[in-house]
Amino acid sequence: MRSKISIIGAGNVGASVAQCCLLKNLGTVVMLDAVENVAKGKALDMSHAAALHDQLFSVSGTSDYADTSGSEVVIITAGRARKPGMSRNDLLKINAAIVDDVTRKVVKHSPDAILIVITNPLDAMSQVAWKASGLDHRRVIGLSGLLDSSRLRYYIAEATGAGPHTVTGLTMGEHGDSMAVLTRLATVGGVPATKLLSAEKLAEIRYRTAHGGGEVVDLMGCSAYYAPGIAATAMAEAILSDSHTTYPCSVYMTGQYGVDGIYMCVPIRLGACGVEDIIELELTDNEKNQIAETARHIRGLLKELEE
Ligand code: APR
């Protein structure tokens, strides 16, 4: 079956997602941007490489939402990105207006799509997109934990000398400084990371994971896009292949972990209908406190949005 993936915002993140989707042959890719020629130019550049990597599907650029019609997956990256010194939250009101607007247009043309939100601040923007979409909350999902836990897995791999793919790890809560980085549950080849690394090293890894995006911004002068591109593509693949994969994602909470009525990152099962279920883990008191704190932080942002 031919799938259609539309990407709203053809900036650094949008283009990175598009290229990953093409490399994986997930389906036809449409990149939409307010600046039409940027989307068209990037699509042409990617098309010029199609012969070199057995690309099966086409990619196009547009600023017309009609061209996104009938998409199975729509990935929202439109918005402003962070500059050095800016937090994700500095983008709150500007990006909320953009996400609200683009989501309404997307859903008009693709009412059966599943939406993956990448625009920051992620958890609040996922909530804005869900409200604007009118869709069941299971069909609007934020990219957060898959990226954050990949950063965690990299730092543990770096510290132990293991291959990153042999490391497991989980982050929960906000896609931001208050996230809960659950090093207690991380493993290296099945061995608890707590057996291999000192408490001090694990604390350092938790800090670098939570601030990994900021570290990239400080180095490059713009926000990350290679890792977000691959992470969003993995989510799209799980949806399009109905793989029931367990990934940490930002989803609408309905009482799990004591949190209700906001988007927040938790482990979920992801398939063709979107969020199949939220997996509830036994947490320590300290971890429960962290979840409560990170949920408070997300609620604070949503309150700011209402003011
Ligand atoms: N409609 C369509 N496209 C838009 C709109 C809009 N209303 N507003 C902005 N855009 C486009 C811009 O023209 C730009 O091409 O969104 C793109 C954003 O690209 P970049 O500035 O390169 O930002 P990027 O690094 O891709 O980050 C996008 O993802 O990870 C998050 O924090 C990041 O919120 C940011 C988003």
Q: Which amino acid is at 88?
A: R
Listed by start position, the domains of the chain span 4-142
pLDDT in tens, the chain (307 residues): 579 999 999 999 999 999 999 999 999 999 999 999 999 999 999 999 999 998 999 999 999 999 999 999 999 999 988 778 777 677 899 999 999 999 999 999 999 999 999 999 999 999 999 999 999 999 999 999 999 999 999 999 999 999 999 999 999 999 999 999 999 999 999 999 999 999 999 999 999 999 999 999 999 999 999 999 999 999 999 999 999 999 999 999 999 999 999 999 999 999 999 999 999 999 999 999 999 999 999 999 999 998 8
pLDDT for the residue numbered 44: 98
- Tell me if 175 CB under 6 Å of ligand 1: no
Helix and strand element counts for the chain (H, E): 10, 14
pLDDT for the residue numbered 91: 85
The CATH classification of domain 4-142, taken from the options 3.30.750.24, 1.10.10.60, 3.30.565.10, 3.40.50.720: 3.40.50.720
The CA distance from 76 to 115, in Å, is 7
The CA distance from 252 to 261, in Å, is 7
- Out of 33, 144, 235, mutate this one to test ligand 1's pocket (max ligand atoms within 8 Å of CB): namely 33
Positive or negative torsion for Cα 295, 297, 302, 303: positive
pLDDT for the residue numbered 264: 98
- Give, using CA atoms, the residue closest to atom 22 of ligand 1: 11
- Tell me if 14 CB under 6 Å of ligand 1: yes
Parallel/antiparallel/unpaired status of strands 28-32 and 4-8: parallel
In the DSSP assignment, the letter for residue 173 is B
Mapping DSSP to helix (H, G, I), strand (E, B) and coil, where does residue 277 land? strand
The CA distance from 12 to 257, in Å, is 34
pLDDT for the residue numbered 214: 92
- Tell me if 33 CB under 6 Å of ligand 1: yes
pLDDT for the residue numbered 1: 54
pLDDT for the residue numbered 85: 78
| Ligand 1 atom at minimal distance to the Cα of residue 82 | 32
pLDDT for the residue numbered 43: 98
Rounded to 10 deg, the angle between the 145-160 and 226-240 helix axes is 120
| Ligand 1 atom at minimal distance to the Cα of residue 38 | 15
Catalytic site positions: 175
Location of structure tokens 């029931």: 244
Residue pair 20/51 in contact (Cβ under 8 Å)? The answer is: no
- Tell me if 229 CB under 6 Å of ligand 1: no
Residue 32 dihedral angles phi and psi, to the nearest 5°: -115, 135
- Tell me if 35 CB under 6 Å of ligand 1: yes
The CA distance from 152 to 195, in Å, is 16
Beta bridge partner(s), residue 197: none
The CA distance from 194 to 162, in Å, is 14
